[in-house]
Amino acid sequence: MSEQKTAKAAKPEKTPKLTKDRKIKWTRDDTELTILALPTTVWYILFCYLPMFGIIIAFKDYSLTAGKGFLGSLMDSPWVGLKNFKYFFGLRDFPMVLRNTILYNLVFIVLDIALPVGLAMIINNLHSKKASKFYQTLMFMPHFMSWVVVSYFVYAFLVTDKGLLNAIIRACGGKNIGWYTTGKYWPAILIFMHVWKTLGYSMVVYLASITGIDTSMYEAAVLDGANKTQQAFYITLPSLKPIIIMMFILSVGHIFSSDFGLFYQVSQGANQPLTPYVATLDVKTYLMLTSPSVTLGQTSAASMFQAVVGCITILLANGIVRKVDKSSALI
Amino acid sequence: MSKKNKKVTEDSLTKLNAIKPATNAIFNVIFALLAIICFTPIIFIFIISITDNNVIKQQGYQFFVTAKTFSGAAYSYLWSQRATILQALWVSIYVTVLGTVIGVVLTALMGYVLSRKEHKLNNFLTILIFIPMVFGGGMAATYVVNTQILHMYDTMWILILPLAVSSFNVTIARTFFRTTIPDSIIESARIDGASQWTIFFKIVVPVSKPVLATIGLFLAFGYWNDWFQAKLYISSDNLRSLQSMLNQMQASMDYLTKNPTALLGDSAALRNAMPAESARMAIAFIVAVPIACIYPFFQKYFISGLTVGAVKG
């Protein structure tokens, strides 16, 4: 808004014709800007839009014919309608992976807001700023570790015969637990690892918003006799509302997607008997993609299902937020 | 006098509003525990990596190492395999540097063009970068495009190009250019006859170093930590980055003994000589440690990048 105003003000009033021409006519400027945007536009077409077009193979019985290339093979392969989707929805695993994906995400949405916001409000009140910085830095570390490295960390704690956790259990008089062969522990392990990896980062992000809140509000509150809890509920939380809503929309929009590294890598390949507890849509798609008995069309149907429902949820979540509070909506 | 009074009031206000010392102590303990939980694993795998393999075989992983159980065998083994590891390190560095440069250039160009509202294609380009934020082709269609149309299977480019641009980074750049570079500067440069190319490189880039550094860091950490691209698309060992090598090792625990370049003689003898447990943890450690050492210096850019990105426009 303000930029438009300044742009208008910059143009002299006495040449309205020029301004009008500018709006309609394609200028040298437009050409130059288009050229500047060209490389990135090409990137978007190749790496984002071609795959969207590639979804078409979900409706075909596609296989690559040697020497014909992608387009030739695509033309040759017959349309099969919704057959690939029927295959995917008919899989015995389908309800399970769908349930896992949604349930894990619901837990993550709650924890990813409650824990970091709570901790950010607490760490902001520590007396020593130095200690606060120190904790933040250490808690930020997991964010920079890849899931491959993290899976080695987890392995060192969980592996049955040598792991630290079993050593502790033995020292307490218990028996070895086969963590990598017992599925029921994995929801807890994966939720813990997710929180472990994201907590520090999210906390620091919320903390950045908290430190941006006008301190005079707190001063006024203290003079009015508000205690710490009241300040948290009547000043801090309302001030954080926009960023919390934004994070909420983003995570609701991603309710059908999952962090492949967490679910596949940390569980050492999501093999049986862990599969019913750790397999999500992304893990399933990967397993279908790498399995020789599943066709590319069938895998594409799985991908497309995920992409379409994901798109619908993000637009829906945004629409609801827009209804409730227009300024908080993302789009 | 009044100034002093005001300061005293403010101080006492802050003091009045501070949490009680006992509460402060409890909170400190909580955060100390959280910090330990977050940082312990990396220390733990380091200790495993310097523990003698026979001790590990008998007693499992130990959290403490004594002079008796200490062994540098893992690291001397890795040193003997330095050809493989240095090759992986080289791939990691090459991909990270080249990818970051390409990514920053592509992101900055698009961010700048999007920040010019008078551009006739502004709406079109905004939609172009917006759609991929909510919709994508998915893993399978992407795989088909990358391997069958772009023919990038088992090439260096598959590790670099697909990760170069993200709409999130473009939005950060656009928001920065819009809010920090006054239109009047660009307008006057145009009146002086400068082309957009000149404006971008002579005016925009020099004043935008902070945001370009932030985006560069996002990209660099992303490239350094990437293993998924290699998992799907790489089959040659000489294209494996450190992360990918680590991942590969997880898949086949005796990767190094299988590796042709690691064969010095009889492979069975080598397998026995290899300090398996500690060597694996040693590799995990040397992959994790560079990042663990440098991230504290870049932490603030990550936060500023996210807060800039949160500003919608």
Check: CB of residue B164 under 8 Å from CB of residue A43: yes
Residue of A nearest to B162 (CA): A47
Mark yes or no for CB contact B197/A285 under 8 Å. no
Q: Quick one: A136 and A34 in the same domain?
A: no
Q: Give the model's confidence band at A23: pLDDT under 50 very low, under 70 low, under 90 confident, else very high.
A: low
A11 inside domain: no
Lowest-confidence pick of A67-81, A180-194, B30-44, B124-138: A67-81
Q: How many CB atoms lie within 10 A of CB A208?
A: 17
CA gap B227, B241 in Å, rounded = 8
Q: Hey, is the C-beta of B39 within 8 angstroms of any chain A C-beta?
A: yes
pLDDT of amino acid B13: 67
Q: Which residues of A touch B44 (CB under 8 A)?
A: 153, 156-157, 164
User: Domain B84-309 has what CATH class?
Assistant: mainly alpha
Confidence band, pLDDT 50/70/90 cuts, at residue B221: very high
- pLDDT score of A77: 86
B35, B141, B232: residue with CB nearest A57:
B141
State yes or no: ipTM above 0.95.
Answer: no
**Mean pLDDT computed over every residue of chain B:** 84
Confidence of residue B77 (pLDDT cuts 50, 70, 90): confident
- For the segment B270-276, the average pLDDT, to the nearest whole number, is 56
* Structural domains in chain A (count): 2
Q: Is residue A260's pLDDT more than 90?
A: yes
In this complex, the residue of A47, A231, A304 whose CB is nearest that of residue B162 is: A47
Residues A184 and A48 reside in one and the same domain = no
Residue-level pLDDT at A4: 46
Give how far B71 is from chain A: nearest CA, Å: 18
Q: In the predicted model, is pLDDT for residue A12 greater than 60? A: no
Residue A285: CB atoms within 10 Å? 25
Question: Which token pair is B260?
Answer: 């042709």
pLDDT for the residue numbered B264: 44
* pLDDT interval class at A19 (50, 70, 90): low
For range A311-330, the mean pLDDT: 81
Q: Please report, for residues A75, A216, B167, B174, the alpha-carbon distance to residue B113 in angstroms, rounded to integers and kept in the order given.
A: 37, 40, 14, 8
Which of A33, A132, A152 is the closest to B113 by Cβ? A33
Neighbours of A169 (CB within 10 A): 14
Phi-psi region of B51 (alpha: psi -120 to 50; beta: other; left: phi over 0): beta
Q: A193 and A273 share a domain?
A: yes
* Residue that has been written with the tokens 């977050």 in this structure: B38
Quick one: A129 and A215 in the same domain?
A: yes
A212 in the same domain as A124: yes
As a whole-number percent, the residues of chain B with pLDDT over 90 amount to 45
Show which of A81, A104, A121 is a domain's final residue: A81
Specify whether the CB–CB gap between A141 and B38 falls below 8 A: yes
User: Mutating which of B299, B300, B312 best tests the A interface, going by the most A Cβ atoms within 10 A?
Assistant: B299
One-letter amino acid of A225: G
Both A239 and A175 in a single domain?
yes
B57 Cα to chain A: minimum distance (Å): 8
Please indicate whether, in this complex, the C-beta atoms of B110 and A37 are within 8 angstroms of each other.
yes
Where is pLDDT greater, at A14 or A84?
Answer: A84
**Which of A63, A81, A99 is a domain's end point?**
A81
Q: Measuring CA to CA, which residue among B243, B115, B91 is closest to residue B180? A: B115
CB contact, 8 Å: A116 with chain B?
no
Calculate mean pLDDT across residues A119-146: 93
Per-residue model confidence (pLDDT) at position A157: 92
Q: Do A209 and B226 touch (CB under 8 A)?
A: no
Q: Is B132 on the interface with A (CB under 8 A)?
A: yes
Q: What is the mean pLDDT of the segment spanning B199-206?
A: 92
Chain A window 133-192: which residues touch B at a Cβ cutoff of 8 Å?
134-153, 156-157, 159, 161-164, 166-167
